[in-house]
A and B are shown apart, each in its own frame.
Chain A
């Protein structure tokens, strides 16, 4: 692909690309993510009530604790950062673009993502057998537009749970490390809820019988329940506001479309589960496990809103790990990235307006992709076409991977072994 550059040079390129955008890009999500932890970093634990009284929800408790701890440290070291955070916490976001230490504050708010980014890269390397594959993974990750845009331009936190999900995949491959895999899922869930979808998969891979399954599930569920329980004790049901706000997305009784989608998703999950149960003993290797994770995401991805760009970061590590082993499927990966671009970047603040810190009036006045598509086409029709095309790509990828799974030597349809468990 690139010919000459070494893996370390690609790491430097990855770092450079991220550094280049960190101080000069801002999205409201970054301010929201950093607003509420400010209160906790100053000793006020009633954060979820504050968010609920503002009519918004906040991320799960570990995200809150982690960002608060980071802010506590950073405010201590860099006092201007404290005044920036106090300004967004107390006065809202209206005057943020005229703040004196804006570039510096934006840079600091995104620094923790560099740590998780590096960790994700390092776990990705551990999943791969040789330097050449590690290098390919690094190239794909270094220049991946989503891996740069979502955390370092939007400031979204999804990179952290994505790291925990990859870590769960890594531990699932290590014999006797099922507990750590489940704890990784729990860690991810406490930053953002989505890694919970991988829990049944990790439990099935890590366990051998019902007792194992129950134990592993508890290893993941108990820490999550304890942390949520602690915050429920402090903030009451406000801690669950996120689930209530998103519940319309899960109410199958409201729409036949949602019902159909859930049936397809359950079907894919069931096929993955059956494959795990009937896989030959000890033959769940790295490529197979990556396929499992990717399949679960492909099923879930059918229900995601294409415009919420950061959600697609969840699957990028697995898509890269899959695509680098299957060069003939890389085109599909590129098509999917193109569709995410065509369906995302809808609002001006999320498109070129993300560079508003450099000149708010100029960058926020430049059109977003939706302005062009809305002018050229009927926007509603365009959205439906892109959405259906994405679902078709996800479904066809899922079918192809399932077909290859069930056609491989890994699969051994032996009922007696399952009953013996």
Chain B
């Protein structure tokens, strides 16, 4: 029931298009930019969703066309069940709901090794329609336990290292000092003029070093020529 009502709220707010966000197309899956990479430091498990109602993670997007959030979950294989609701909001002047979807914990695959060394869980991606003006905008995502099908045996990972794009995570309204371990992505669009001008700016910024570098390359070329045929 709650899922249905939440869905109605989001459809009303966004003209019905967000709830239809299905599997992404090839371009979205191939060309994307990983904006936030916060599965870092020494991630540790949050409280189980059987014991908490909502986890809220505010963040700032540094790229246009934000369209995906990926959250690593820890999963107790023998105890996982229920449903979570993922909500995405834009903040700023007012809070604007952007997207909502259900995450069925029972459908998760078995827990497997994630991260570089020692953590296990399931990495779950949530795709939503690209937000064209997302660069430098504030958002938060929320994972909320579904009262009708309460989730348990699952939680997210938290981590301590500060990240300039994030505010600390709130768990049931209590804000601590930890951050959600998650990733966010933007769809990349090929605007060649912008790509070339940005690259040119970066090269121009270091013109003195690059002048020396070109002289060095020229020296190697001269050496190559000097020993031709010797």
Shortest distance from the beta carbon of A258 to any chain B beta carbon, whole Å: 14
Could you say which of B32, B161, B202 contacts A357, with CB atoms under 8 Å apart? B202
| Complex: chain B residue closest to A353, CB-CB | B34
Given A16-B220, A104-B209, A375-B29, A359 and B195 touching (CB < 8 A)? Answer: yes
Could you say which of A15, A92, A371 contacts B29, with CB atoms under 8 Å apart? A371
Shortest distance from the beta carbon of B43 to any chain A beta carbon, whole Å: 8
| Complex: chain B residue closest to A14, CB-CB | B220
> How distant is the Cα of A95 from the Cα of B202 in the complex, in angstroms?
14
The residues of A that contact B163 with a CB separation of less than 8 Å are 94
Q: Are B33 and A365 in contact (CB under 8 A)?
A: yes
The residues of B that contact A365 with a CB separation of less than 8 Å are 31-33, 188
Could you say which of A13, A103, A248 contacts B209, with CB atoms under 8 Å apart? A103
Instruction: Select the stretch in A1-9, A388-396, A413-421 that faces chain B.
Output: A1-9
- Interface flags for B174-212 (1: CB within 8 Å of A; 0: not) read 000000000000001000000100110011011001100
> How distant is the Cα of A83 from the Cα of B164 in the complex, in angstroms?
19
> How distant is the Cα of A6 from the Cα of B202 in the complex, in angstroms?
37
The residues of B that contact A100 with a CB separation of less than 8 Å are 205-206
| Complex: chain B residue closest to A366, CB-CB | B31
Q: Are A103 and B188 in contact (CB under 8 A)?
A: no
> How distant is the Cα of A55 from the Cα of B117 in the complex, in angstroms?
11
Give how many B residues have a beta carbon under 8 Å from the other chain's beta carbons: 37
A contact patch SS = helix
Quick one: which of A338-367 are within 8 Å of B by CB? Answer: 348, 357-359, 361-362, 364-367
Interface residues on A, range: 35 or more
A131 at the interface (CB under 8 A from B): no
> How distant is the Cα of A209 from the Cα of B157 in the complex, in angstroms?
56
Quick one: which of B7-64 are within 8 Å of A by CB? Answer: 26, 29-34, 41-42, 63
The residues of B that contact A348 with a CB separation of less than 8 Å are 34
Q: Are A367 and B30 in contact (CB under 8 A)?
A: yes
> How distant is the Cα of A54 from the Cα of B202 in the complex, in angstroms?
31
> How distant is the Cα of A20 from the Cα of B198 in the complex, in angstroms?
20
Shortest distance from the beta carbon of A27 to any chain B beta carbon, whole Å: 14
The residues of B that contact A54 with a CB separation of less than 8 Å are 41-42, 161
Shortest distance from the beta carbon of B100 to any chain A beta carbon, whole Å: 27
> How distant is the Cα of A15 from the Cα of B219 in the complex, in angstroms?
11
A277 at the interface (CB under 8 A from B): no
Could you say which of B188, B203, B205 contacts A362, with CB atoms under 8 Å apart? B188
Could you say which of B30, B188, B206, B220 contacts A12, with CB atoms under 8 Å apart? B220
Q: Are B63 and A9 in contact (CB under 8 A)?
A: no
B4 at the interface (CB under 8 A from A): no
> How distant is the Cα of A361 from the Cα of B198 in the complex, in angstroms?
10
Shortest distance from the beta carbon of A68 to any chain B beta carbon, whole Å: 23
A404 at the interface (CB under 8 A from B): no
Rank and list the top 8 A-B pairs by shortest CB-CB distance, nearest first: A55-B42, A365-B188, A8-B227, A12-B224, A104-B209, A359-B199, A365-B33, A103-B206
